[in-house]
Amino acid sequence: MFRTSLACLMTVCAATGWPPAQAADAFAVDSPWMTGDWSGLRTDWLQHGVDIKMGYTGESASNLRGGYNRHDHVTRYADQFNLGADIDLEKLAGWNDAAFSVSLTNRNGENINEKISDPRATGLGSTQEIQGRGSVTRLSELWVSKGWFDDALNIKAGRFAVSDDFAVEDCLFQGLAFCGSQPGNYVNSIYNGPISQWAARVRYRLNSELNAQIAAFNVNPSDLDNDNGFKLNGSGTHGTLFPVELVWAPKVNQLPGEYRIGYYYSTANAPDVYKDETNQPAALTGNDYRSNESRHGFWLVGKQQLTSVNGDSSRGLTLTASATFQDRATTPVDSYQKVSLVYKGPFDARPTDTLGFGIARVHASSLFLRNARTANAASGLSYDDLGFVPEQHSEIATELNYGIQATQWLNVMPNVQYIKNPDGVREVQNALVVGLQVQSQF
């Protein structure tokens, strides 16, 4: 069966006898794909477990007021293309509870935070979550998973990101503070997509609502290099990251929810943000910052749909809240908290549009702040001096957006973001940014 299915896929089903589908034309409003159904081919593939993924996300941002260069009102644009396939190996090859995924990601563009933030400061956030990790094509996924005992036990292995399975959050905003797995935004042992790592994950279903999972991820900073987008060997490995998580998915008043609590431990060495090898302030001694043998942290994520519309649970208000806490001695951001509300289908005539609002606090480590204060006290410099080290506290990010589901394959989301103390630097004027996100499935 596997050989037959594989031959069918490789020959574009020319002689398979798969039944023809009702093919959607390119640019059809009710098609899930901009390029259409390829004369029914894509629907046929889906029926046999092959889901071709081709997508695009573009994000523009313009600062209307404030920021480090408060009079420099500029616009920046960043985008991402992805190409891949999710394959249900049970449908395609008869392997029970098995799946395979492969994807490539290409990112380009610039971030407006380079204009609204003090360039001497360590970045705490971004108004364009899609920007980052270099303008390069990367292998983002290459993994296989297999389940046993009716998928109660599931093992996944290959190359994937921590954010694919742990501390997972929806991304219905443009600001980074409201998108994806937050530990990966601040801890350099944890890589969010599009960076993939060699990893293995084991998940066990304790009951119909509760899962437990643990994984081991190879920590290899060389994976971040632009020249290593397709690197598969383990040279440059610094250690291993071990995340563990409980995921509870209850229904409250017949409405879905998901609650996660997790912990991570990394064996990779991490530089201290304050002390040298003699436990003295490195900013005073001039010595290198000491290397810590490990780092750890934990997270909490809760998402609950609160309302429906006339019994239709595909519409309604969903509340999401999350918090992460990192090792303050090794991570410039030691804590993060967020609350967001998203209403899907705010109008009867627009049942798939979304209205979203969120507020997040990104807090710099007290030791990281102490290091800057120590350096500035020793140098005697003030903020306007070139060698001054910015003293970073907390950044407060807010976003209001409206997602227009123009077609099944096109979403356009204008948004307004207000950043208080960009990168936690109180001397930088609060910034008002307008953005536009465009997402399309080809």
DSSP per residue over 45-108, as a string? HHHTTEEEEEEEEEEEEEEEEEETTTT---EEEEEEEEEEEEEEHHHHH--TTEEEEEEEEEEE
Check residue 22 and give its pLDDT: 61
* 152: three-class secondary structure by DSSP: coil
pLDDT single digits (tens) 346-357: 999 999 999 999
Cβ-proximal residues to 208 (8 Å cutoff; 6+ apart), any chain: none
Three-state SS string across 338-375, please?
EEEEEEECCECCECCCEEEEEEEEEEECHHHHHHHHHH
Confidence of residue 189 (pLDDT cuts 50, 70, 90): confident
Give residue-wise pLDDT tens across range 379-401.
999 999 999 999 999 999 999 99
* CA separation for the pair 360, 79 (Å, rounded): 24
Which domains can be identified in the chain, with CATH numbers? 1-48 (no CATH), 57-441 (2.40.160.180)
Percent of the chain whose pLDDT exceeds 70: 95
Residue 62 CB-density burial (10 A; 0-12 exposed, 13-18 middle, 19+ buried): middle
pLDDT over 90, % of the chain: 87
For residue 13, is pLDDT > 50?
no
pLDDT greater than 60 at residue 65:
yes
Whether residue 5 has pLDDT greater than 70 = no
Backbone φ, ψ for residue 46 (5° rounding): -60, -40
Of 212 and 74, more confident:
212
Torsion of CA 301, 413, 417, 191, to 10 degrees: 40
Model-wide pTM > 0.85: yes
Please give the pLDDT value at position 70: 77
Kind and range of the H or E run holding 155: strand 153-160
Q: Report the pLDDT averaged over residues 157-180.
A: 94
Structure confidence at residue 8 as a pLDDT band (50, 70, 90): very low
pLDDT score, position 114: 87
Measured CA to CA, the distance from residue 337 to residue 359 in angstroms comes to: 9
Average pLDDT over residues 256-277: 96
Residue 1 scores a pLDDT above 90: no
* 348/271 Cα distance (integer angstroms): 54
Across 426-439, average pLDDT? 97
Burial of residue 300, with CB atoms counted within 10 A of its CB: 0-12 exposed, 13-18 middle, 19 or more buried: middle
Has residue 137 got a pLDDT over 60?
yes
CA distances from 365 to 27, 186, 362, 392 (A): 49, 11, 10, 9
Which residues does 253 contact at the CB level (< 8 Å), separation at least 6? Answer: none
The answer for residues whose C-beta is within 8 angstroms of residue 114's C-beta and 6 or more apart is 76
pLDDT band, residue 16 (cuts 50/70/90): very low
Q: Please say if the pLDDT value at position 4 is more than 60.
A: no
Closest by alpha carbon to 240, among 282, 180, 199?
199
pLDDT confidence of residue 19: 43
Q: pLDDT averaged over the chain?
A: 92
User: Which residue did the predictor score with more confidence, 71 or 73?
Assistant: 73
Query: Mean per-residue pLDDT for 286-294?
Result: 94
Q: What is the largest CA-CA distance in the chain?
A: 79
Q: Is the pLDDT of residue 9 over 60?
A: no
Average pLDDT, stretch 94-107?
97
Of 70, 143, 138, 63, nearest in space to 102 by CA: 143
What DSSP element (H or E) covers 274? strand 270-276
Which residue has 């090792």 as its token pair? 327
Instruction: Give tens-digit pLDDT for 210-246.
Output: 999 999 999 999 998 988 999 999 999 999 999 999 9
pLDDT of residue 17: 43
